[in-house]
Amino acid sequence: MPDSLTQNAWDAHPVIRWLMTDGRRILGSNEFLEGFAFCLRQAGIDVTRITTGVPILHQQIFSFTGLWQLSKGASERLYRADSGQSASLENSPIKIAYDGKPVRCRLTVSSDEAEFPIVKDLRRVGITDYIVLPVPFADGTNKALSLATTRINGFSDSEVVLFAAMMPAFSFNLEVQVLRRTARTLLDTYVGRQSGGRVFDGQIKRGMGETIRAAIWLCDLRGFTGLSEAQPRDALIEMLNKYFGPMCDAVEANNGEVLKFIGDAMLAIFPVEHDAAVACRHALSAARTAQNALANENRIRAGEGLPQINYGIALHIGDVIYGNIGSDTRLDFTVIGPAVNLATRIESLCKELNRSLLLSTDFVRTSGVVAESLGEFVLKGIAAKQRVFAVPA
């Protein structure tokens, strides 16, 4: 690493100047990597390949890497935390960088059996010099930056010094991007993809929201009180996950958004974008997908002598208030309104009518689905009787 005097001199370099000015205004990781590569090449550094390696906070993904290639541009790759990926990482220069140490591989020398697998891959595509540097973050961890070239003699000594000198500025940019990604990941996970995006974009004032039209999904687990008293804690949590998992997967696979879990109930919406009938069809498709998945799960549970997962789903469509409600210090981004109340009341009929899926009159009328009328019912808190429908098996 350069000493402070040398660092001050390097700060005038166009690459470091770009990292400290224009680079800081680029928030997208791919766009930043494109700009960074362009800046290096404009400065005469014959870089052919750049990657960033970042372990991230996510329940299913261990890390993401940005990849820029001279002939292909920038892209992003996600890696799941499985045994295969863990073993691959252990035998990688990226892991060494994560541990705070730089790695340089000159690929023009003869192959060594002990070399990293990636070195063999890079040699095959003409890479001559490969440098991996630790990127220090404020929390004491290190991420990774790799740079590679096909230049015959590899990187020059002055370029290697530049790479070390630019690391504080590069680290700042990468950390900002990772913090934004982490925040968005947490919002998507705990608030929902669309709602999380709105919160992330600044819709955080109490009362801020809008009226939207949406198909409304409300599902509830039957007999949960009895199960919670009879089942051990771990078995109960496992059952809830087996129930919520197919419900959430079905909603998200059909352009819906899970807004919240309320004990053993789940509220989701399918916003109307252009055609209300399309939103209804998405909601109905999600319900059928969830029914099929849970039917299969119940067959497995029956074979293992486990309690069945009995549930009800209600589908309705209407106008809802979509936004922030709560106190000055605790907000919930959700939907409220008479349409949500009606969906809740219709779902409460599922047990009484021994049905796992019920549809409102408005939903049937809007969607055009062929449905069987089950009659009119008085629902708590709803002034007029409501006709409910079931979809023929």
Output the six-digit token pair for 140. 């004491």
In angstroms, rounded to a whole number, what is the distance separating the alpha carbons of residues 64 and 286?
30
In angstroms, rounded to a whole number, what is the distance separating the alpha carbons of residues 34 and 73?
7
In angstroms, rounded to a whole number, what is the distance separating the alpha carbons of residues 67 and 34?
9
* pLDDT interval class at 83 (50, 70, 90): very low
Fold of 4-188: Beta-Lactamase (3.30.450)
Q: Give the chain's mean pLDDT.
A: 85
Which strand (E) or helix (H) includes residue 314?
A: strand 311-326
CATH of domain 204-390: 3.30.70.1230
CATH 3.30.70.1230 range(s) for the chain read 204-390
For residue 91, pLDDT over 80 is answered with no
How do residues 134-185 score in pLDDT, each as one tens digit? 999 998 999 999 999 999 999 999 999 999 999 999 999 998 888 777 766 6
CATH 3.30.450.40 range(s) for the chain read 4-188
For residue 84, pLDDT over 60 is answered with no
In angstroms, rounded to a whole number, what is the distance separating the alpha carbons of residues 188 and 184?
6
